[in-house]
Amino acid sequence: MMNNTVKAAILGLFSAVVFNVQANEHHHGEMMNNASAAQPEQVIHSTGVVKAIDKDTKKVTIDHEPIPAVNWPAMTMRFTLTPETRFR
């Protein structure tokens, strides 16, 4: 079983890319690119739990609390790890 420190580190790693991944999966990235050139990047924080890490398929599953700033309910999301992702 993975200890809480490792889970927290992984969640912190993914919290920086969660919104970008979600935007790209829904093709919102095209809309956001134009707006982000005029405004500084907004950082939104939330709390979640890493439920699963599958190194073979390079997937991580995160269960997060509601994120009112982006009108997201609490949900479980699965993300694909990129070559830049490192486990510590």
Classify residue 53 as exposed, middle or buried by CB count within 10 Å of its CB (0-12, 13-18, 19+). middle
The helix (H) or strand (E) run that includes residue 6 is: helix 4-15
Q: In Å, how far are 36, 57, 75, 82 from 46, measured between CA atoms?
A: 21, 26, 12, 22
- Is 16 among the domain residues? yes
Give the pLDDT of residue 23. 44
Unique residue bearing structure tokens 């927290």: 8
Condensed to tens digits (0 to 9), the pLDDT of residues 40-88 reads 888 888 899 999 999 899 899 999 999 999 999 999 999 898 887 766 5
State pLDDT tens for residues 6-24.
555 555 555 555 544 544 4
Looking at the domain assignment, is residue 86 inside a domain? no
Task: Indicate the number of domains in the chain.
Answer: 1
Nearest 5 degrees, angle CA 67-CA 70-CA 74? 30
Which residue range forms the structural domain that includes residue 59? 4-80
What is the value of pTM for the model shown?
A: 0.49
Domain containing 8 — which CATH number? 2.40.50
Structural domain contains residue 88: no
